Amino acid sequence: MKHKMNRNNLLTKDDIWNAVIKVICTTDFPKENKLVHEAYIVFQYHSELESGGHESLFNWMADYINEAGIANFLTELKDILEKIGAHEYAAIEKRYLEKIWGLFKALENDETKEEELYQVIEAADNEYYQLDGKLAELLEAYFVSIYTDLIEVTNN
User: Do 149 and 34 contact (CB within 8 A), yes or no?
Assistant: no
pTM equals: 0.91
Q: State the pLDDT at residue 140.
A: 96
Confidence of residue 28 (pLDDT cuts 50, 70, 90): low
Torsion over CA: 31, 35, 57, 68 (sign): positive
pLDDT per position as a tens digit, 65-117: 999 999 999 999 999 999 999 999 999 999 999 999 999 988 887 777 789 99
User: Do 26 and 43 contact (CB within 8 A), yes or no?
Assistant: no
User: Do 81 and 89 contact (CB within 8 A), yes or no?
Assistant: yes
* Distant-in-sequence, close-in-space partners of 110: CB < 8 Å, separation ≥ 6: none
Three-point CA angle 103, 123, 81, nearest 5°: 90
Domain-by-domain residue ranges, the chain? 3-154
pLDDT per position as a tens digit, 107-139: 887 777 789 999 999 999 999 999 999 999 999
List, as one string, the DSSP characters of 48-91: HHHHHHHHHHHHHHHHHHHHH-HHHHHHHHHHHHHHTT-HHHHH
E strand or H helix at 100: helix 87-108
